[in-house]
Amino acid sequence: MFNNLPLFLIFFFFFFGLVNGRWQYDEDAVVSVPTIHVDHSGLTTNFKTIQSAIDSIPSNNLRWIRISIKPGVYKEKVTIPGDKQYIYLKGEGTKRQRPIVVWDENQSLLASPTFSSNADNIKVENLHFVNSYNYPPKKSGGAPMKQAVAAMITGDKTAFYRCGFSGVQDTLLDAMGRHYFKHCTIEGAVDFIFGAGQSIYEECRIVVNAGSIGEGTIGYITAQGRSRAQDSNAFVFKNSEVVGNGRALLGRAWRSYARTIFYNSSLSNIVVPQGWDSWSNKDYEHQLTFAEVECYGPGSDTSKRVPWEARLSQEMVKYFTSMDFIDGDQWIRKQPY
């Protein structure tokens, strides 16, 4: 096939891997990713549910497997067990047509998630996860406020691209591990991004729906759970935006060393002037790292923020906002495309 190509093009083909129609540099070899197809109608594929496709993958899998999901509403609870690594969930269709995974449960943090990802080396793209227990929120006549998780992430080296997470209370449990979110939308009212993940949220849209619950409701965007000084985890929001209705604080401290940073992000006027809350950690405010750096918009005025809001050095800002914080160059570059 290369007989009539110039030498520089032949070199180009071998230097870059053509993976599923997109180019990715791979220093080892051309990566071939087998694909499983899911269609909720059951007309075009062997799998009607996402979970049945995941179940078909052998335990202790060591090679990437892509699960391609047709647009539609999938009313199911989806779990990636800890022994099934290297799964790439890929929703087909545009953002408006992408697959939606919906479940309705509120029993507990661990039991309620619509989507649970417990394995390392997972990639998810173009899917929308919803816990419909009390979503969409209602000012009257709706279900009472309870923990109702749309997604729980406990595995390491997990990335989400162009995904949506919708709920009201405790929407996204970013529990533990190194995670990367890009071009994602996370919606909720109370502690709707919480946990002890070591995570970067880049160019994400954070949507507060506290005003949809009732007048005067104060929401909380984050509840970060770093519990010890030596723990490396933090939530970093980079080049993102905070929008929505009602009023909300940027975060409150779930644990006594909580750490959350908003960097170069647009903050709308829904942000409450004090910005942050130490919650039950009022004696440990000096241990908290809640910071805003180079943010803009009507909610970015820090003149009335809590006096213990952190001031980060340039070195710390550079570290937290770079891919080095999550060792991204070591694992994100190796994901399939």
Q: Which residues are catalytic?
A: 170, 191
Decide the pairing of beta strands 22-25 and 16-19: antiparallel
Pull the structure tokens for residue 40: 């909720």
Asked if 67 and 50 count as a contact pair (C-beta separation under 8 A), the reply is yes
- Rounded Cα distance between 299 and 71, Å, is 36
**The CA-based dihedral angle spanning residues 302, 303, 306, 311, taken in that order and rounded to the nearest 10 degrees:** 60
Asked if 271 and 290 count as a contact pair (C-beta separation under 8 A), the reply is no
Closest CA to 190 of 295, 306, 279: 279
CA 17 to each of CA 227, 269, 333: distance values in angstroms, whole numbers, following the listed order: 42, 46, 12
Count CB atoms within 10 A of the CB of residue 128.
21
DSSP structural state of residue 296: B
- Helix ranges, the chain (H): 7-15, 50-55, 314-321, 328-331
Contacts (Cβ under 8 Å, ≥6 apart) of 333? 25
